[in-house]
Amino acid sequence: MTKAIKVYVIVCTALFLLLAGSLFRLQVIKGKHYQRVAESNFVRIRRITATRGEVYDQKYRPIVQNIPSHNLYLTSGKIHNLSSLARFLSLHFGISEAELREMVTKQRFKTYEEILLADNIPYETVLSLSEYLNYYPELVFRIGSTRNYLYPNHFTGYVGRINEDEYERFKTEDYSINSYIGKTGLERYYEVLLRGRDGKEIVQVDAQGRSLGLFRDEGYIEPLNGLSLVLTIDNDLQDFAYRAFPDHIKGAVVVSDVRTGGILAYVSKPGYDPNVFMQRISPEVWEDLNADSKPMLDRVIHATYPPGSVFKPITGGFGLNKKVVSRDTRLSFCDGGFQYGNRYFRCWQHSGHGKTNIVEALMHSCDVYFYDLSLKLPLDEFKQFALNSHLCRKTGIDLPNERNGFFPDTAWYKKKYGANIGIQGHKVNLSIGQGEILTSPIQLNAFYAAIANNGTWIQPHLLKQTVGRGRLTINEVSPIRIAQLPHDAGTLRAIQDGLWAVCNAPNGTARSVKVPGATTYGKTGSAENVMGKTTHAWFCGYIVTDKPEIAVTVFMENAGGGGAMAAP
């Protein structure tokens, strides 16, 4: 063998050994690593969205349902021509190139997660655009579900796409950028119960990122659907109250079960359709939602107002409890007004009511009786009595962002007007629910329900029970808070008799309120409105058959007298 051939053989052998070593390294030593790399390039983890719990009334009639929805996703595959894709999305879905680039940038570190581009797409649109998806393999239509709100109301609230701040706050709780989250109302308050837990599956994809089907089963996590809510609401009563309240008037209606605190009807007007938030909102719809009438404002719990004469049972109750007056005590003669210092406070009835006791003063709604009584009541104790009666403070209803209300005290007046301010004149105004005092329809409804319930105050609530799959009842309802009004038994009886006289005596201010087969108790109110010339109208009361049943509160902004407007 020549020397040249020997060199050739040695070189070939060396190259062979080197190649064999490389193959051994690739296939054996690093084989599992490269297998994982290959799989990571051609499999994706896809989130399986849990079905959100639905909402029913107390008789299992639907209030909020899930319905099928056609959605468009951007897969995690490579985008071939972003400018062309942006033009397509802008033309058909109103998504600009800037919006698309922002979505892709935010998701650049989660290429395994698809991006929800559009939801609630009409089926006709899906059919007409499906053929175009051959040119845009990174897009895919999928069927999901969306909310369908069957009635216009505020208490259910609505869901919406999670925003950036919400995602940063809740991403550790397994929310994704595509998640829906409760924004207001029950949808927000009971988000943890309603949302369930998303599942996951591993799908095989081609080089374009298009799904080829499930890759393997061991990575599958079944979604856990959310719990459904059964409310205390009665759909029939809710519908009646909504239709009975005039559309052109702003205000609220609350009806509750005296024995349980459960809300049977909950109306705030003007209202809005929560379904508008299930799709991109047009400028016209957005303008309507932000109209001067504030249709998005929940006037039951998110607004507070001067209560006017429906507050008089508090003033009278405090005077009786403190033994400043008795049931039979008659105060100053009402000739149509009350002189205090250099101010003259008018009674609503300019011809006057004469001398009245507490029952008659409530029946006639005589302002002078309460003016006189207020001068005998310490302001700070008066405030505490109102707070202990659960007015001017949150009730704790199971809805977010309930407002407190307000009752001024001595320190507040001195801070606002100076240390030498006289308090008595302000107490005169407060005694009839005027001045700075503010409360809400839900607070007054719970208070009047407590009067009907012989002093037992029960926290108002909307949730009756939760229901899982197969209508399995689950006890998730938080304990309902129960307390006692500060009124003693004699005080309660006098207030109850006064409320009976308002609705049943010949001269009662709400004598027009009659319910066949039942006895009505209540109080009308006309509260001065600093924002307008016309007074707010109130009616608060309860209905008794063989035992107290329901409490009713009606409030109308700038509507006039409570006896003429709210009570009927």
Per-residue confidence (pLDDT) for residue 12, from 0 to 100:
47
Residues 429 and 468 in one domain: yes
Residues 254 and 315 in one domain: yes
Task: Average the pLDDT over each of 48-57, 213-222, 357-366, 495-504 and give the range with the smallest value.
Answer: 213-222
Q: Is residue 286 part of a domain?
A: no
Reference 321, options 143, 126, 455, 178; nearest CA is 455
Strands 55-56 and 228-231: parallel
Residues 333 and 190 in one domain: no
In this structure, what CATH number is given to the domain that contains residue 380? 3.40.710.10
The length of the chain in residues reads: 568
CA angle 241, 519, 244 (to 5 degrees): 15
Range of the domain at 69: 45-231
User: What percentage of residues in the chain have a pLDDT greater than 90?
Assistant: 59
0.75 cut: is pTM over it? yes
Given a cut of 80, is residue 15 above it in pLDDT? no
Given a cut of 60, is residue 562 above it in pLDDT? no
Residues 493 and 382 in one domain: yes
Of the segments 282-296, 379-393, 467-481, 536-550, which one has the largest average pLDDT value? Answer: 379-393
Reference 427, options 391, 386, 486; nearest CA is 386
Given a cut of 80, is residue 399 above it in pLDDT? yes
Residues 442 and 333 in one domain: yes
Handedness of CA 113, 119, 123, 127 (dihedral sign): negative
Any idea which residue has 């468009």 for tokens? Answer: 72
Residue 205 in tokens: 């994809």
In this structure, what CATH number is given to the domain that contains residue 191? 3.90.1310.10
Residues 319 and 355 in one domain: yes
Mean pLDDT of 249-259: 96
Question: What is the DSSP-derived secondary structure letter of residue 197?
Answer: B
Task: Average the pLDDT over each of 48-57, 73-82, 367-376, 446-455 and give the range with the smallest value.
Answer: 73-82
Domain boundary among the residues 175, 206, 231 is at 231
- If one counts the domains in the chain, the total is 3
Per-residue confidence (pLDDT) for residue 216, from 0 to 100:
60
Given a cut of 60, is residue 24 above it in pLDDT? no
Q: Is residue 371 part of a domain?
A: yes
